[in-house]
Structure 1
Amino acid sequence: MKHSIYTSYDELPLMLSVTEVAAVLGISRAGAYELVHGNEFPALKIGSRIVVPKDKFLAWIDANSGSKNAPL
């Protein structure tokens, strides 16, 4: 399991990589890839890269956890 280097949502980059999503959520990279390939997760494919917009990621967390801006 990866540990996040971020201590608040404000520190997240505007676009998160799959590896960063895994670290923030505390899941494996494989688990993060499963998420980003799902229909409900806000991922963008740009060329061969998959990125997740920060605002959509936070909205997804909010919608799926029922808590807003909890510490990471």
Structure 2
Amino acid sequence: MSTNEKGMPQSRTYTVNDIAAILGIGRASAYKLANSGAFKTIRIGNMIRISRKSFEDWLKAEGLDDETE
């Protein structure tokens, strides 16, 4: 498992708030996107977790990743 700069394990998932912050969109828009089927999500009770790899692959396909700038 990879680690971040503080040595903590890097999560394999994002929260809806995480993708809202990454994309600079509101929470309502992030929930719509998460429920759209654009990338893999996992439901745990009423929580939604977004697959980090699936989301990052989607970003690349949309041309929104930082590496294309």
Q: TM-score, normalized by length of structure 2? A: 0.70
**Residues 36-45 or 53-62, more deviating:** 36-45
The change in CA–CA distance for 1:67 and 1:18 in structure 2 (over 3 A counts) is: closer
The change in CA–CA distance for 1:67 and 1:50 in structure 2 (over 3 A counts) is: closer
Check if 1:59 corresponds to 2:57.
yes
Q: What is the CA RMSD across the aligned residues, in angstroms?
A: 2.3
- Of structures 1 and 2, the one with the larger relative CO (CA 8 A, separation 6+) is 1
Sequence identity of aligned pairs in percent? 30
For the pair shown, the structure with the greater C-alpha radius of gyration is 2
Amino acid at match of 2:13: M
Aligned length: 60
**Structure 2 regions of 5+ residues with no counterpart?**
1-9
Deviating 4+ runs (over 6 angstroms): none
Q: Is the 8 A contact 1:16 1:52 kept in 2?
A: yes
**3-state DSSP class of the match of 1:51?**
strand
Q: Is the 8 A contact 2:39 2:51 kept in 1?
A: no
